């Protein structure tokens, strides 16, 4: 058993903590760094590329490629908690000959190496940013809970589950306090991917064929996710647990589009095309996964998160949509 480095006072959630944030140049990691710095936490940011507007007290270190990097001991010196956001993420145009092997090299083997070195360096806690897709891609009769049997459907989700299992084994061997978070789709200022594409379409007032969809989906705004991450970095009841997270308000695709359009100052033009027709057409052109995300339901029951941590989302959906839209209008919108 490796000797643990004690957090100053684990029952006082306002005492500053020394943390290492991996993936600090990414969407979530950068937000964790900024927010932790505002709390006067001692933040070491591991990134593979330079960071802009880095808060002055933050120490920037080179994280390297998780798939091959092995020398974390110097970076981990004096760190009480690791917030592990770095990962090989799902990509729309996969180039790897063996995607699962590529995901495993970074998300499983790389995560396990980092966790073992964190334990050896005396870190007390390891917060792992996993994915709701460990549970599955779609809900039907009820929302997902953290106690459900995992059912990952993609190589990315399989690798995330395997990393969770590896971290559990390391926790048992070393005493490292592992906390797993499984967020759904994350949105916020600077969001990319499908969410950004939908914002562009709304801003340009393009008609979208989603008016007849009656699904329910859980989302989580960046502010709410980061708040929970930092709670999990030190809360005594978080150790050894897996938590689901959302904004606490499930939306249909039409509701999300209308409220996002309102935040952008435009009106959503939604055409009432039946969901079945959309799915069939998308399957014909090889876009079935996108149709599933837009037409299917994916709901989270985070009652256990609220109960165990006494945590509730501090920001409303609409407030976060406004922040997201403001950033889009200031930085991405043409003209």
Whole-model pTM?
Answer: 0.92
The percent of residues above 90 in pLDDT, for the chain, comes to 75
Average pLDDT over the chain reads 90
> Is 156 annotated as catalytic?
yes
Tens-digit pLDDT profile for residues 56-111: 789 988 766 776 666 788 899 999 999 999 999 876 566 778 999 999 999 999 99
Radius of gyration of the chain (CA): 20
pLDDT at residue 332 in the model: 62
What does the domain layout of the chain look like in residue ranges? 18-189+220-246+301-314, 193-215+251-295
- pLDDT score at 8: 37
Does 6 score more than 60 pLDDT? no
**173-187, 222-236, 284-298: least confident range:** 284-298
Look at residue 335 and tell me whether its pLDDT is greater than 50: no
DSSP letter string, 122-145: T--EEEEE--GGGT-S--SSS-B-
| 3-state DSSP assignment of residue 83 | strand
Closest CA to 251 of 242, 241, 243, 261: 261
Query: Fold for domain 18-189+220-246+301-314?
Result: Rossmann fold (3.40.50)
- pLDDT value, residue 126: 98
- Band (pLDDT 50/70/90 cuts) for residue 249 is very high
The residues pairing with 187 across neighbouring beta strands, listed in sequence order, are 221
List 72, 128, 144, 156, catalytic entry: 156
Q: What is the number of other CB atoms lying within 10 angstroms of the CB of residue 74?
A: 8
Average pLDDT over residues 290-314: 94
């Amino acid at each position: 058993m490796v000797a643990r480095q004690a957090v100053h006072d684990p029952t006082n959630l306002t005492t500053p903590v020394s943390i290492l944030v991996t993936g600090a140049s990414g969407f979530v990691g950068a937000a964790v760094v900024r927010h932790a710095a505002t709390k006067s936490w001692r933040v070491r940011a591991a990134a593979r590329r330079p960071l802009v507007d880095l808060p002055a007290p933050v120490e920037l270190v080179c994280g390297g490629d998780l798939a091959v990097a092995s020398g974390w001991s110097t970076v981990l010196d004096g760190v009480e908690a690791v917030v592990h956001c770095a990962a090989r993420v799902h990509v729309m145009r996969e180039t790897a000959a063996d995607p699962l092997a590529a995901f495993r090299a970074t998300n499983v083997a790389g995560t396990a190496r980092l966790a073992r070195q964190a334990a050896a360096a005396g870190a007390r806690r390891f917060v792992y940013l996993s994915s709701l897709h460990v549970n599955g891609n779609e809900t039907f009769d009820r929302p997902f809970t953290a106690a459900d049997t995992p059912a990952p459907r993609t190589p990315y989700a399989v690798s995330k589950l395997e990393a969770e299992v590896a971290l559990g084994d390391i926790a048992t061997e070393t005493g490292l306090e592992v906390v797993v978070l499984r967020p759904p789709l994350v949105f916020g200022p600077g969001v990319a991917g499908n969410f950004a594409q939908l914002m562009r379409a709304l801003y340009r007032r393009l008609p979208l064929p989603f008016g007849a969809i009656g699904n329910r989906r859980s989302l989580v705004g960046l502010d709410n996710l980061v708040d929970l991450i930092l709670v999990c970095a030190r809360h005594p009841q978080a150790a050894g647990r897996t938590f689901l997270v959302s904004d606490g308000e499930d939306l249909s695709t039409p509701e999300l589009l209308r409220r996002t359009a309102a935040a952008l100052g435009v009106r959503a033009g939604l055409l009432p095309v039946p969901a079945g027709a959309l799915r069939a057409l998308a399957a014909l052109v090889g876009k079935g996964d996108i149709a599933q995300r837009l037409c299917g339901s994916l709901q989270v029951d985070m009652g256990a998160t609220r109960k165990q941590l006494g945590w509730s989302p501090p920001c409303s959906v609409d407030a976060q949509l406004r922040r997201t839209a403001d950033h889009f209008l200031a930085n991405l919108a043409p003209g």
